[in-house]
């Protein structure tokens, strides 16, 4: 499993696989154990032991990690959640038509909008099933749906355009 971890503006790739843990592509010795009876964790990274406390900030990958008396804001997302978040982020500042694309290959379960519908930011657009999980793609901006290119039951590839929203017609 691959994770993208952002720590105070710096991004790292962490991959946990059968050959061990890779940090930014480099194999590292890593072990994380709970300190039973407390809220502390013990992290051994390349032979160095660190005691830390981790607090979930929300259910969306945000954490506050306290280590060595210092607090760090951390965002840890698996590849699927990162793709969905990236899909929603940049579109919010667009001034022209925005293509909503599939963040991963999957099956369209439901199309929640039709051509010419007005949508609001955060409104559900399409539900895709991938890896036996349903993922609802939401509008990153308000506007008018100018094209719907998929239908329920259709298989889609990663990056395939599902629909187009024109924010100029909000």
Q: Over the stretch 52-99, which tens digit does the pLDDT of each residue have?
A: 998 887 667 888 899 988 988 888 888 777 666 665 554 444 457 888
The boundaries of the domain holding residue 112 are 89-169
Number of domains composing the chain: 2
In angstroms, the CA 54 to CA 41 distance is 8
Strand partners, 144: 118, 166
Domain stops at, among 39, 61, 79: 79
79, 110, 135: which is the final residue of a domain?
A: 79
Residues 44 and 15 in one domain: yes
pTM of the model: 0.48
**Rounded Cα distance, 164 and 17, in Å:** 37
Structural contact between residues 22 and 14, judged by C-beta atoms closer than 8 angstroms: yes
Tens of pLDDT, residues 95-113: 578 889 888 899 999 999 9
């Amino acid at each position: 499993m691959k994770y993208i971890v952002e720590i105070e503006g710096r991004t790292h790739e962490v991959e946990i696989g059968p050959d061990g843990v890779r940090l930014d592509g480099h194999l590292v010795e890593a072990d994380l154990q709970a300190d039973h009876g407390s809220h502390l964790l013990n992290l051994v990274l390349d032979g160095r032991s660190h005691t830390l406390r981790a607090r979930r900030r929300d259910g969306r990958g945000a954490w506050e990690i306290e280590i060595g008396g210092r607090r760090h804001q951390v965002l840890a997302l698996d590849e699927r959640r990162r793709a969905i978040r990236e899909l929603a982020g940049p579109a919010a500042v667009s001034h022209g038509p925005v293509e909503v694309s599939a963040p991963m290959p999957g099956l369209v379960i439901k199309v929640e909008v039709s051509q010419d519908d007005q949508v609001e930011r955060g409104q559900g657009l399409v539900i895709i099933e991938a890896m036996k999980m349903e993922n609802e793609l939401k509008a990153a901006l308000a506007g008018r749906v100018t094209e719907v290119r998929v239908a329920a039951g259709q298989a889609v590839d990663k990056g395939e355009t599902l629909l187009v929203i024109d924010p100029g017609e909000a």
